[in-house]
Chain A
Amino acid sequence: MGHGEKGGRPFKKFKGAAKFEDSRKTFAEDDDPYGGDHDAYEDDEGKIKDFSQLELKPDHVNRPLWACDNGRIFLETFSPLYKQAYDFLIAIAEPVCRPESMHEYNLTPHSLYAAVSVGLETETIIAVLNKLSKTKLPKEMIKFIHESTANYGKVKLVLKKNRYFVESPFPEVLKTLLRDDGISRARITSEGAHGDGFTISKALGEIEGTHDELLNQAEVAAAAEEKEAHAFEIDPAQVENVKQRCLPNALNYPMLEEYDFRNDTVNPDLDMELKPQAQPRPYQEKSLSKMFGNGRARSGIIVLPCGAGKSLVGVSAACRIKKSCLCLATNAVSVDQWAFQFKLWSTIRDEHICRFTSDSKERFRGNAGVVVTTYNMVAFGGKRSEESEKIIEEIRNREWGLLLMDEVHVVPAHMFRKVISITKSHCKLGLTATLVREDERITDLNFLIGPKLYEANWLDLVKGGFIANVQCAEVWCPMTKEFFAEYLKKENSKKRQALYVMNPNKFRACEFLINYHERARGDKIIVFADNLFALTEYAMKLRKPMIYGATSHVERTKILQAFKTSKDVNTVFLSKVGDNSIDIPEANVIIQISSHAGSRRQEAQRLGRILRAKGKLQDRMAGGKEEYNAFFYSLVSTDTQEMYYSTKRQQFLIDQGYSFKVITSLPPSDEGSRLHYHHLDDQLALLGKVLNAGDDAVGLEQLEEDADEIALKSARRSQGSMSAMSGAKGMVYMEYSTGRNKGQQIKSKPKDPAKRHFLFKKRFGPT
């Protein structure tokens, strides 16, 4: 594996990096929420890591952090230097957990790569870290930083006039690279080259002053000086391969991608500015400053919680670069939202922005513009209509100034490869709320897009009143005797989920919460259920509108509109489709009655639905009138699998400093008789219904966008229907017969209408 192992120090995240080879081979698997626990805490189980011999500095009280030689860093948040230390650490290390008083970080090769790519130099990193540390820095850590960064930032990938160049101020480094078979094969030798065949040009040196406040003058060594840049050209088709060869687990010269947009005279400028009322918040400003730190645009990922204003960051980036921009979203609804955001925040003229989905195949006028589309539209491999073929051709041929990618965490690596190989862009910006995937394929993003440029601290945003302060609660609903007896029976193994979701006690808790929040507080409520059977049962019984995969775009819009404006519609039931594609800023309560096993990402995404801050800023600020203004309830049936999953699901949010309060007595006993299923007979009738439903009927809803690998492989099924691929039409949200483990079968899913889910049968008419 990597050199981290050679040093005998098991760097956790590094293993993830080395894993990427494997994960490439195992594309076909779905996102695996059941899979191995990659929890950072679980390393070296039970062993105490003893660093008590580290020497404390005499003034250690005034310094905010401890650094251990295995890369772990502890930061006191009550230190007066916290803000500076946080900004610095988030640049050089991966946050492990960030609750209120003490943060933990991990130094990893990837995080150091990110640090170097935002312009921090090895010596600066060590000097600042040493300044902040309570102890003398462990020698191993210094060595590790040296080793990890020695090669970083030396090689850049530059796109000039539609040709890719590998550029470096050090010709010997380029020679090292060319000794690699893969890279030398990818090289395109130009005519008239001299000597070693490298082209030589002048490039600007780094100007970086972000952490100056922590260093004295002498230490700010990074001076702007002109350096000679040597370069050779490579085959565009091989770009990804070359980048991959340069990663730490291979040649270890990770490439930085930068775009000197100000000096780009080839690509036409796009006339767009931020409107004056678009005032980026401090953390948005900071994330942008990381991206544009040296006057060029860096490729990378910005991580902000949902509702914290990711779109403004995206639009601002596009406005700074002022070149053509390709914006990729996950589905047609968010395409509309992005287009809206561009018009809302920037002065872009209507004819310069266009949407490309199955429904609207617009084209911008002039020689530069913004195109908003979905990943599926670009990556689609099948036959296209003539019209969209033309648009795709245009997208392919254009040299994009900015490739703006929304929700990068949900799109599989494979899809990225395709999108990135199809489009040529100078700079890629990925936006996401949660950089977690259960399959740890997140590390792929590091080379596909770039390093993480910035990650906001959720609690700080809550304290600043930028996102809602959410009270999270886990409601324990004991299984009723009858349901539990069935749950334990072997022959019901396929119905387990349905049984614990339909648990009458859970239903009653849900009903109680809905009543309470609708009546007592006048809140707007979303109820999430992954299980379609439960979703319909609950929604029907409680007479609330519901949206799931098969709900048409028109109907969705109608329901959401009613939810937003009508006083009578305060609760909406959503299936998985609501996890991230539907924007419902009005909602401030979430009740989750079933979920996708142990997926931490889903939990965070769902929470994100209610994070958009509401009301007056001063009320939300620390010490303001409202302590909590949003509520997240997760209902779990005790003594079932759900308990285990729910602990796992919450891990990400807990690491961000959220805490789940356990509620054990819902509904309160005096409310009991007013709710449904109060009588045993009703409960037994419900039980009978669950048991009599077919096994497929009670399974999980499977959406294509979650199972993209599968969707792509079985693309032929929806051949000719662009709308399906863009997610605009209901058809895209197909229901798969059983749980995710049957992934292989899904590929060969027959089109036989008789086997369609009963809910779909209605939609497709009698067969």
Chain B
Amino acid sequence: MPEVRIIAKNFMDMVASMPAMKLDKLYENAFICEAILRSLPPLAKKYVLQLLHIDGPVSAKLLAEWVLPDGLSKHKVAIDRLVQLRVFVEALDRKNEKTYKVNSTYQRSLQNLLVHGGTLPRESMPSNITVRLLTLEELETYALTQWERFLLQLISPSQVDKNLNISSSLMKVFQRRLLSQRDREAPKLTESGFQFLLMDTNAQLWYIIREYISNSEERGVDAGDLISFMLELSFHVIGEAYNTDTLTDFQRNIIKDLADLGLVKLQQGRKESWFIPTKLATNLSVSMTESSSRKEGFVVVETNFRVYAYSTSKLHCEILRLFSRVEYQLPNLIVGAITKESLYNAFENGITADQIVSFFRQNAHPRVAQRIPAVPENVTDQIRLWESDLNRVEMTDAYYYDEFPSRDVFEGACDCAREWNGLLWEDSKKMHLVVKSEVHPYVRDFLRRQK
């Protein structure tokens, strides 16, 4: 899904856009270095590892020689990224040639990590204190339900029975670009809101986390601290309990929000309290290519445009309603139909045919997922055709001329427009002419010259 990458990139862009000082400070943390490494394009990863134990600068030319000519564009992308993230530091040597050197803080941290292994600032708690912990499945279910509750509250607050602890101001921050709130009107999903809902969980998570971080300064929280804590969190072991006392006050505040998002589960023992990271938390640092979490699909699309979704979730129902007509809701099944009207509605709201089709594909029920294609061809074709139906009218900015003084002038103007490849329409009887707006200056000049 292309959206995933855009947002993931943006997240690391955010890291990259931090001031050099802060970035260097972040790189003191080995886990962040590892997370950064994971997020890099493959070629960049290779460069980092290759130069990790070289202390001096390496000339750019030498680096460029490592790749075959057709890999040059990839090479450029990799280098740019590394420089952007300040993993590579650019300099000029005596001959005034460009050189690269691995950022010394980053280098030290990563070397340490490789040699000594990473040590978390806290140990997991012994099982005699925590008694019975959740199984991994239970934890995953918990994380997903929590996430779903959050999403539902995000898009339609009225649907939620029990509100989350997230402060309403923070919720507003999340909703900022997803919902449009006009006075006295119920909030409506915006175009990006629709797209957000169609993304897979990880991509959604990235988006929310990004909003959470970029807003942190307003809340008086240091973005660097926040990033480093979250990346660190992602290296904790799923399902293990960690004592809350090991956290700083700042972190303790944050962990409450993260619990609401389903990243951790908070539990209270007799004396101690602890948090348990879920899969959502650990996914934060997994590189995007590997992270698209494979949930079991639940949607069956039939050749007659009926949609059957094996789901009890209100959220799924809300999502399906974005582009189909939901007709029945059974205890564990949602029945809907894709109609021209429902799709036009979706297109109007900025959802694209591709998004809908890929939603069906990604969430295909295992029964139909092995089928090729998982979504009947006639349905996907029709969705696309309906979309292209809406795009049959093309708008071109243009200028309209009439009242030509003579036929010669009219024909001259036509020729002039034709010459510039900008003649859209002419009526030689009535002497009317329409030209593309970018050609307008030339035609105008031509007409002036005629006077």
Are B327 and A654 touching (Cβ within 8 A)? no
- Taking a contact as CB atoms under 8 Å apart, the answer to whether A52 and B304 are in contact is no
- Once bound together, how far apart are the Cα atoms of A46 and B321, in whole Å? 11
With known contacts A56-B332, A66-B330, A74-B335, A661–B304 Cβ distance under 8 A: no
Indicate if the CB atoms of A659 and B330 lie closer than 8 Å: no
Chain B residues contacting A104 (CB-CB under 8 Å) are: 306
User: Is A97 interfacial (CB-CB < 8 Å)?
Assistant: yes
Let me know if A48 and B368 touch, CB within 8 A.
no
A54 within 8 A of B: yes
Distance from A134 Cβ to chain B, minimum over Cβ atoms (Å): 8
- Is A52's CB under 8 angstroms from B381's CB? no
> Which residues from chain B contact A66 at a C-beta distance below 8 Å?
330-331, 333
- Nearest CB in chain A to that of B339: its residue: A41
Instruction: Find the B residue at minimum CB distance from A61.
Output: B332
| Nearest CB in chain A: distance from B309 CB, A | 11
Query: Which chain B residues numbered 322 to 338 have a C-beta less than 8 Å away from chain A?
Result: 325-333, 335, 337
State A390–B373 Cα separation when bound (angstroms).
63
Indicate whether A101 sits within 8 Å of B302 (C-beta atoms), given known contacts A74-B335, A661-B381.
Answer: yes
Q: Which residue of B lies closest to A43 (CB)?
A: B327
A103 to chain B, nearest CB (A): 10
Bound-state Cα–Cα, A68 to B328, Å: 9
Does A251 sit at the interface, judged by CB under 8 A? no
Rounded to whole Å, the gap between the CB of B388 and the closest CB of chain A is: 9
Contacts of B331 in A (CB 8 A): 51-56, 66, 134-135
Contacts of A41 in B (CB 8 A): 327, 337
Please state if B378 and A99 are interface contacts (CB–CB under 8 Å): no
- Report whether A99 and B303 are in contact in the complex, using a CB–CB cutoff of 8 Å: yes
User: Do residues A49 and B304 form an inter-chain contact, with CB atoms below 8 A?
Assistant: no
Smallest CB gap from B378: residue in A: A659
Contact A102 B312 (CB under 8 A): no
User: What's the minimum C-beta distance from B208 to chain A, rounded to whole angstroms?
Assistant: 28
Report the minimal beta-carbon distance from B268 to chain A, rounded to whole angstroms. Answer: 32
B221 to chain A, nearest CB (A): 41
> Which chain B residue lies CB-closest to A651?
B304
Question: Nearest Cβ in chain A — how far from B380, in angstroms?
Answer: 11
Q: Are B325 and A46 neighbours in the complex by a CB distance under 8 Å?
A: yes
Q: Are B327 and A657 in contact (CB under 8 A)?
A: no
Contact B378–A660 (Cβ < 8 Å): yes
Contact present for B327 and A48 (CB under 8 Å): yes
**Residues on the A chain within 8 Å of B335, using CB:** 74
In-complex Cβ contact of A102 among B306, B332, B376 (8 A): B306
Q: Which residues of A contact B150 (CB under 8 A)?
A: none
Number of A-B contacts (CB under 8 A): 84
* A50 is an interface residue with CB less than 8 A from chain B: yes
Task: Please give, as numbers and ranges, the residues of chain A lying within 8 Å of B385 by CB-CB distance.
Answer: 662, 664
A135–B332 alpha-carbon span in the complex (Å): 10
Inter-chain contact A661/B377, CB cutoff 8 Å: yes
Contact mask for chain A residues 268-286; partner B; CB cutoff 8 A; 1 contact, 0 none: 0000000000000000000
In the complex with contacts A78-B367, A661-B378, A664-B385, A655-B330 CB distance below 8 A? no
Whether the Cβ atoms of B376 and A659 lie closer than 8 Å is yes
Residue of B nearest to A56 (CB): B331
Q: Is A633 an interface residue (CB 8 A)?
A: no
CB distance from B199 to the nearest CB of A (A): 25
Shortest Cβ distance from residue B331 to the other chain A in the assembled complex, whole angstroms: 5
A99 and B325 in contact, given A51-B331, A68-B330, A662-B378 (Cβ under 8 angstroms): no
A763 touches B (CB below 8 Å): no
Residues of B near A134 (CB, < 8 A) are 331-332
Docked-complex contact B327 and A662, CB < 8 angstroms? no
- A204 to B327 alpha-carbon distance, docked (Å): 46
With an 8 A cutoff between CB atoms, is B300 at the interface? yes
Cβ of B382 < 8 Å from any Cβ of A?
yes
A100 touching B328 in the complex, CB below 8 Å, given contacts A661-B377, A661-B378, A662-B381: no
Tell whether B100 is near chain A: CB-to-CB under 8 Å: no
Within 8 Å of chain A (Cβ to Cβ): is B275? no
Name the residue on B nearest A78 (C-beta). B367
Please, how many angstroms separate the alpha-carbon atoms of A97 and B306 in the complex? 10
Contact partner, A655, options B304, B312, B337, B379, Cβ 8 Å: B304
B328 and A49 contacting across the interface, CB-CB below 8 Å = yes
Q: Inside 8 A of A56's CB, which chain B residues have their CB?
A: 331-332
Known: A74-B335, A101-B367, A662-B385. A654 touches B304 (CB 8 A): yes
Q: Which residue of B lies closest to A647 (CB)?
A: B340
A664 to B386, CA, bound (A): 13
Q: Say yes or no for B106: interface residue by CB 8 A criterion.
A: no
Find residues 349-366 in chain B having any chain A CB closer than 8 Å to their own CB: none
Shortest distance from the beta carbon of B147 to any chain A beta carbon, whole Å: 21
Distance, CA A103 to CA B186, complexed state (A): 37
- Tell me if B308 is interfacial: C-beta within 8 Å of chain A: yes
A689 within 8 A of B: no
Q: Does the CB pair B302–A48 fall under 8 Å?
A: no
- Which residues of B140-195 are within 8 A (CB) of A? none
Do B302 and A100 touch across chains, with their CB atoms under 8 A apart?
yes
Please indicate the chain B residues that have their CB under 8 angstroms from the CB of A135 in the complex. 330-331
Q: Across the interface, which residues of A come within 8 angstroms of B379, CB to CB?
A: 659
Contacts of B377 in A (CB 8 A): 659, 661
B306 to chain A, nearest CB (A): 7
Type the 1/0 row for A68-106, where 1 means its CB is closer than 8 Å to any CB of B. Answer: 100010100010000000000000000001011110100
Residues of B contacting A661 in the complex (Cβ-Cβ under 8 angstroms): 377-378, 381
- What is the bound-complex CA distance between A102 and B312, given in angstroms? 18
Closest chain B residue, CB of each to CB of A650: B304
**Closest Cβ neighbor of A68 among chain B residues:** B328
| Residue on A nearest B326 in the bound complex, by CB | A48
**B308 contacts across to A, CB distance below 8 A:** 74, 101-102
**B346 nearest CB across to chain A (Å):** 16
A54 touches B327 (CB 8 A): no
Report the separation of the CA atoms of residues A657 and B304 in the bound assembly, to the nearest whole angstrom: 7
Greatest chain B CB density within 10 A among A52, A60, A74, A135 is at A52
In the complex, what distance in Å separates the CA atom of A100 from the CA atom of B368?
A: 10
Bound form: Cα–Cα A360–B302 in Å: 50
In whole angstroms, how far apart are the Cα atoms of A487 and B379 in the complex?
A: 30
Distance between A269 CB and nearest chain B CB, rounded to angstroms: 48
Q: Which of B329, B367, B376 makes the CB contact (< 8 A) with A48?
A: B329
- Residues B329 and A659 in contact, CB atoms below 8 Å apart: no
- Contact residues of A between 18 and 64, Cβ < 8 Å to B: 41, 46, 48-56, 60
Nearest chain B CB to A98's CB is how many angstroms away?
A: 9
Would B303 and A658 count as touching, CB distance under 8 A? yes
Residues of B within 8 A of A660 (CB): 378
Partner of A659, one of B303, B327, B337: B303
Q: Which residues of chain B are within 8 angstroms of A48 by Cβ–Cβ distance?
A: 326-329
Find the A residue at minimum CB distance from B377: A661
Shortest distance in angstroms between A81's beta carbon and chain B's nearest beta carbon?
A: 15
In whole angstroms, what is the CA distance A655 to B381 when docked? 18
Query: B306 contacts which of A49, A53, A99, A662 (Cβ < 8 Å)?
Result: A99
Which of B328, B337, B385 has the most A CB atoms < 10 Å from its CB? B328
Chain B residues, CB < 8 A from A49: 327-329
Give the residues in chain A near B302, CB-CB below 8 Å: 97, 99-102
Q: Report chain A residues within 8 Å CB of B330.
A: 51-52, 54, 66, 68, 74, 135
List the A residue with the shortest CB-CB distance to B307: A102
Interface residues of A in 84-134 (CB under 8 A from B): 97, 99-102, 104, 134
- A residues near B328, Cβ cutoff 8 Å: 48-51, 68, 72, 74
Residues from chain A with a CB closer than 8 A to the CB of B306 are: 97, 99, 102, 104
> Can you show 24 pairs from A to B with CB atoms below 8 A apart?
A41-B337, A48-B327, A48-B329, A49-B327, A49-B328, A49-B329, A52-B331, A53-B331, A60-B332, A66-B330, A72-B328, A74-B328, A74-B333, A74-B335, A99-B303, A101-B302, A101-B368, A134-B331, A654-B303, A659-B376, A661-B377, A661-B378, A661-B381, A662-B385
Give 7 nearest A-B pairs by CB, closest first.
A659-B303, A659-B378, A99-B302, A654-B304, A50-B329, A52-B329, A56-B331
Chain A residues proximal to chain B, CB less than 8 Å: 41, 46, 48-56, 60, 66, 68, 72, 74, 78, 97, 99-102, 104, 134-135, 654-655, 657-662, 664
B-side residues, CB < 8 A to A, are: 300, 302-306, 308, 312, 325-333, 335, 337, 367-368, 376-379, 381-382, 385
